[in-house]
Each structure stands twice: as C-alpha cells, then as structure tokens.
Structure 1
Amino acid sequence: MPKTTYAAITLGSNSFNMLVARTQGHRPQVIAKYKRKVRLAEGMGTDGRLQDAVMQRGLDCLAMFGRMLDNHKVDRCHVAVVATATLRSVSNADEFSERAVPLLGCPIEVICGMREAELIYQGMVANTQGGGRRLVIDIGGASTEFIVGEGQDVLLKASLPFGCVTGQRQFFAHFPYQEQDFIDSAADVAKILTEQGPMLRRLGWNAVVGASGSVQSVIELLAHRELPQIITLEVLQQLKTEILQQHSADLAGITGLNSERVPTFAAGVAILLALFTQLNLDRLQLSGGALREGVLQQLADRVAG
C-alpha cells in the first residue's frame, strides 16, 4: 500500500514555506522543501491593509506551491496551511485568503500567537537534540515567540509584537545605519518585554535555542567563517560593528552573509543583541525545527490517525 504524501505550508511575515513529506518509522520524512522570502510584513500599510503589490507577491508564491502540490500528487485533504502575524493583523486578510484558496485548493488557518508558540515548540522538540529546560526564541517577520519548556511540556509561552521585517522598516529604513538605530531598536524590545521578561527569567532554563531566519543568518555566517556555530554576545557585537562599517546597503563587506538575508539582517542582529541583554543570555544555538516542522508533525499525526 503506497504511503500517504502530505504537505505543511506556513505563511510567515517574512517567508512562506512548504514541506512535502511521507511518514517513515512513525516520523515525517521530508521529500521536498520550498521557500520564498515574500516579506509580507513589508506590505502592512498605515491604513491597516496589506498593500496590493505585496499581496500579489504572496499569491504568486502560493500559485507556485499549488503547482508543486500537483506535481507531488498531494491530496488537498492532506494539506495544512497556517498563517501568522501579518495575516492576523491586516484588515484585508479575508481578501488574501479568498484569492489564495483557489490557487492552493485548500483553506488557510490564521493562528493566534499562542498557538504559533505551541507549534514552534513542538517542531523544536521533534527535531532538536538535548533535554532539560529550554528557552526557545523564534524571531519572525512581525512577531517574536518565546517558549520555555521541558520535554513535551510547555511551561510558558508568549508572542510579542516585534520582528525583523517590521524592525527593519521602523529602525533601519535609511542607510548608512547608525549607532542610534541599534539603541532605538533595543529600547523598543525592552519596552515590549517589560511584562514577559521577568517571568521568563524567573522560570530559568538550561539552554537557549533560536528558530528563525535571523538566527540562521548568523549561524550560516559563522559556518562560512569556520567559527563555532554558537551565537554569543561577542559574536553579535562584532556583527554590529561590521554593519556600522559598511559602505553600501547590500552589506557586501560582511563575509559569509547570504545576499538573501541582507534586507532584514541589521534588524535581526539588533533584536538578538537586545534579547541577549534583556534576558541575560550567554549563548544561543540553532533549533532543528520550528513552526513548519510543528505543523508537519501535527499533520503526520492526523494522517496516521
């Protein structure tokens, strides 16, 4: 009997992702990955609507996903599509969904921040070695999720309104970047963390893992430089210095920086710096999974059931 093929699609504020998988040994085995930097949060207008050009960028990506679902012969009843912060916020999210459904052939579920945090944690636990109490940080395009958990148990979860796309637009919209841009970004993060920060610190943790493009961009850079793939305050301070020394907005002088990461790199580093300071972090490692893997695991359980 052929194994069922299924797909998890996540519509983030920065990236759209699709994982196509089959179950092998009670675990999802990914057979294809698709990703586009749609940067949906760039289109959040002052009127609260998603701008037409950015909406179209997202729809073009979903049309491609739809074609790939056909190529992999995925039954639409075995597809889960979840959307996060930007589509939680914009007033014309229903219009986006109405135009997207015919392209994908299945509905979009816009999930709340707390549900997003749960799925991020599930994706981390299923795909990351280690144990003990862990703090998971996922810096998205327009929101950042924090989860403290042990094993399968979530002890605290929070979804806060700052991210690398919105942060880039708010604090790093003009080049050359200045020291004040980092100061202003840090103040914003500190203000938003006023309530949750002390709660996180009181719970404590044995290890910190990061699950996001901002974390991945730094890890990729460290790997390119043949340095330990662990983010520390010293690493981030060095990257901040390099960002401030750049002569062009393409940040071409930063060795090992993937060009696809450039549009949100400064804001991502600034947010990480602020979190290291506010939460007294000493080291952060890359998670093996996050939201898309959490959605995939949930879907695999549903297909198996």
Structure 2
Amino acid sequence: MSAPCYAAITLGSNSFNMMVAKTVSHHPQIIAKYKRKVRLAEGIEADGLLNSSVMTRGIDCLAMFAEMLKKEGVSADNVEVIATATLRKISNADDFCQQALTVLPHPIRIISGIEEADLIYQGMAATTEGRGRRLVIDIGGASTEFIIGDGNKVLLKTSLTMGCVTFNHSFFNQFPFQSSDFDHVRQHVESVLGEYQQQLSRLSWHSVVGASGSVQSVVELLCARGESRMITLHVLQQLKQEILAQNSVSMLDIKGLKPERAPTFAAGVAILLALFELLNIETLQLSGGALREGILHQLAQRCG
C-alpha cells in the first residue's frame, strides 16, 4: 500500500503556495508545487478591510488549488491551510474565510506571528545543513520573522510588521526610485526592530539563514549571473545602485531578475540592506525550507 499524499497550503501576504508531498523514509518528499503571486497585502484599505478585487484574486487562487488537490489525489483529511500576516490584520478575515470555503472546503487556520516563527524554524532546521547558533530571517509580504536557534532549541523568536508588499506600497510607490526611499526604509526598520535589535545582537550567531521570496529573488539573480549564492552587504549595495539606475519600473535591465519578482524587488532589497547594516550581518545564505516545510513535517507525523 502506497503512502498517502498530503498538502500544505499557505496564504501569505505576497504569495499563495501549495506543496503536495508523501512520506518516504520518514521524511516528506515533495511531489508537486503550486504558487501564485496574489499580493494580498496590496488590498488592505485605510479602514482595515481587504478590498473586494484582491479578495477575489485570492479566492480564484484557492479554486485553482482545489482543482490541483483533486488532480493529485489528496484526501480531504490530509490538507492543512495556514494564513499569516494579512489575514491576521484585516477586519474582514471572516468574510474571506467564508468565501474560501465555497471553493476550497478546508478551514483556514490563521496563525499568530509566534506560531509562524516556530514553523519557519522547524522547516529551516529540517532542510538546511549547518551547525551552531543560527539567526533565521523570513521576510514576507507584510511581516518578518526573526528566530535565533541552536539545533532544535529556539532561543528567541518574534514577528514584526515589515514586509516587501507593505513597504513597496509605503516607500516605493513613485518611480523613479530615490536613494532617500532606501534611507526611509532603514529608519522604519530600525524603529520597528526597537528593543529586538539589542536582543538579537546580544544573543549573537554563527551564521544567518534567510527564507521567503525577497531572499529567493536575490539568490536567483546571483545564480543567473553565475555568482556565489551567498548574499553580502556588497551584493545588496550593488543591487541598490542597479535599482536606482533603472529607466522603467519593470526593472527589465536588471540581469537575472525574474519579471514576477520585480514588483516587490526594491522593497525586499531595501529591507535586507537595512537589516545587514543594523544587525551587522556579514553573509546570509538561503534556507532550504521554511513555513511550508514546517507544516509538511507536522503533516508527515500525522499522515505518514
């Protein structure tokens, strides 16, 4: 009898993702991936409501996921749907969840930032080689999680309100972009970090691991250029200059940048640059996994 398939669906502020896996040798083996740039956080209005057009965009994606679950033969009992920062924040989250049930008949679990940080660390630890104390940074669309851990022991975890979609709306909403836009991001990141800046630095770490699309977009670019996958301050400073030199908001002249990454690329680089400077980070490597992989490992224990 073959192992059952199970699926982890994450409703992030930037992307909606679905991973389908089955257990092989006690570990999840991914057999299918689906992703759509929904950019949910773009739809948050001043009154705290998610606007109807972006809500529809999200529901349409979930309808596609439902079709793919049928295609992959995933049992209804083996699906976990997790939502993060935007659904934590909006005042009409219940409306979204009710509409979602009409196309994807699985309840959405809106997790706290601390729960998200826990799952991110589990997913990183299960998929990323390395020893010693690590700082994990996951820059999402509307929140960023910071975790310091050593092996399976978590020493600090927090979730703060900074993300590439919300920062894109706040700081990079007029083109051409200016050096002052990056300065304003740094000031805001410093303000949001607050006391955590000292706490993180005091604990220290042996290495830094980054997750999510902002880090992924830089690593993909470096790979396309045949350069080292390691992100450094020099790399980010160079990318800042390339962003400022662009003649079009599409940023087509930035070699190695995928078009679907372009809309939030400047904000992601600005956040990374600010964190490198404020936390004195020397190098950052891409995590092998994060939130989705953390959920998959929980599902593997339940379904495997």
Normalising by the smaller structure, the TM-score range is over 0.9
Equivalent residue of 2:88, what SS?
Answer: helix
Equivalent residue of 2:138, what SS?
Answer: strand
2:170 aligned residue: 170
1:134 aligned residue: 134
Instruction: Provide Cα deviations, 1:10-65, integer angstroms capped at 9, x if missing partner.
Output: 00000000000110000001110000010000001101000100000000000000
1:37 aligned residue: 37
The alpha carbon displacement at 1:158 in A equals: 0.6
Say whether residues 1:230 and 2:230 are aligned partners.
yes
For 1:30 and 1:253, locate their aligned partners in 2 and report how far apart those are by CA, in whole Å. 34
Regions of 4+ moved over 6 Å = none
Instruction: Provide Cα deviations, 1:217-275, integer angstroms capped at 9, x if missing partner.
Output: 10011111111111000000000000000011100111110101000000000000000
For 2:201 and 2:278, locate their aligned partners in 1 and report how far apart those are by CA, in whole Å. 9
For 2:297 and 2:87, locate their aligned partners in 1 and report how far apart those are by CA, in whole Å. 23
The alpha carbon displacement at 1:102 in A equals: 2.5
2:80 aligned residue: 80
1:145 aligned residue: 145
Equivalent residue of 1:137, what SS?
Answer: strand
The alpha carbon displacement at 1:103 in A equals: 1.4
For 1:29 and 1:122, locate their aligned partners in 2 and report how far apart those are by CA, in whole Å. 16
Equivalent residue of 1:173, what SS?
Answer: coil
For 1:72 and 1:259, locate their aligned partners in 2 and report how far apart those are by CA, in whole Å. 29
1:8 aligned residue: 8
Amino acid at match of 1:245: A
Instruction: Provide Cα deviations, 1:180-238, integer angstroms capped at 9, x if missing partner.
Output: 10000110000011111100111110000000100011001111111111100000000
Root-mean-square deviation (Å): 0.6
Equivalent residue of 2:231, what SS?
Answer: coil
Equivalences, count:
304
The alpha carbon displacement at 1:131 in A equals: 1.2
1:181 aligned residue: 181
Q: TM-score, normalised by structure 2?
A: 0.99
Percent pairwise identity: 62
Superposition map of 1:149-160 within 5 A: 149-160=149-160
Say whether residues 1:208 and 2:212 are aligned partners.
no
Amino acid at match of 1:47: D
2:240 aligned residue: 240
Equivalent residue of 1:67, what SS?
Answer: helix
Instruction: Provide Cα deviations, 1:107-164, integer angstroms capped at 9, x if missing partner.
Output: 0000000000000000000100111100000000000000000111111001000100
Amino acid at match of 1:190: E
For 1:192 and 1:21, locate their aligned partners in 2 and report how far apart those are by CA, in whole Å. 37
For 2:121 and 2:15, locate their aligned partners in 1 and report how far apart those are by CA, in whole Å. 19
